[in-house]
Structure 1
């Protein structure tokens, strides 16, 4: 996915503001299994996914808990670092080779002060991320595991081919055996 498509998905910028924002970005390539963000560290960048898929997880004693997947067109950020400049909670692992656009948070905050259109882009970015969190919380509290699986497949149908099933099971809050049963019912 090209950078202009990603930026427009968040908020359509006037051409001058778009060029200013794009000038601050660096395109990076990382291999599968790379840990992009580490918990307990302040993250100084946000990333936009050009290609590839990633997961956010928290390591536990006997297994990881996966709580988010990101793919083409989505944003990778630690909200805690982005908003409060504090250590993040999550780790971000690349599940495929990825091409990312990197943007420095401090520089982005400077742009928010000097360009109202970029500030509005940042506001929309935060709103989109908030809605993702709200949707995840509501589905975890109100939907059964099967309904959560169906919703995930409706929203991201190719995920099942791109992500190891153990991570999907963790994301759904179920065991791999339970996920296998749900998939067999289809």
Structure 2
């Protein structure tokens, strides 16, 4: 996915402002298995996924709990670092070799301070991430495991072929055995 498309999906800005943002972006290729963001660390970069898939997880009672998957067009950032400049809660792991657009947080904040359009773009980015988080939280609290799995199949069918079932089970809040039973029923 082209960076211009990602910019426009967040919020439409002028070509001049778009170019300012694009001048600060660097394209990077990173390997599967890399933890690009780490919990308990202040993150200093924001990424946007050109190609690939990632997962966000946290450790609870010694187990990794997956709570988000990101793919082409999604942003990768610690909202806590982005807003409060504090250590993040989550770890984000690349599940495939990924091509990402990278921007330093300081550069992004500098653009916000000098360009009102980009400041509004950044506000929309944060608002969109908040809405996605709220939707994930509500979805995780409602319905049976079968209903949550069916919803995942409808809203994000490509995940099933791109992500290990153990991560999907964790995301749904069930065991891998329960997920296998659900898949057999459907």
Shorter-chain TM-score range = over 0.9
Alpha-carbon distance in 2 for matches of 1:149, 1:116: 42
Report the TM-score when normalising by structure 2. Answer: 0.97
Name the structure 2 match of 1:118. 118
> Which runs of structure 1 show a deviation greater than 6 angstroms over 4 or more consecutive aligned residues?
none
Pairwise CA distance, 1:108: 1.0
Pairwise CA distance, 1:54: 0.2
Name the structure 1 match of 2:96. 96
Name the structure 1 match of 2:181. 181
Report the TM-score when normalising by structure 1. Answer: 0.97
- The Cα RMSD (Å) is 1.0
Name the structure 2 match of 1:14. 14
Q: Which moved more, 1:46-55 or 1:138-147?
A: 138-147
Pairwise CA distance, 1:62: 4.4
Q: Which moved more, 1:165-174 or 1:52-61?
A: 52-61
Counterparts of 1:9-158 in structure 2 under 5 Å?
9-158=9-158
- SS of 2:92's equivalent in the other structure is strand
- SS of 1:110's equivalent in the other structure is helix
- Render the CA deviation track for 1:69-116: whole Å, top value 9, x for unaligned: 000000000000000000011111000000000111111111111111
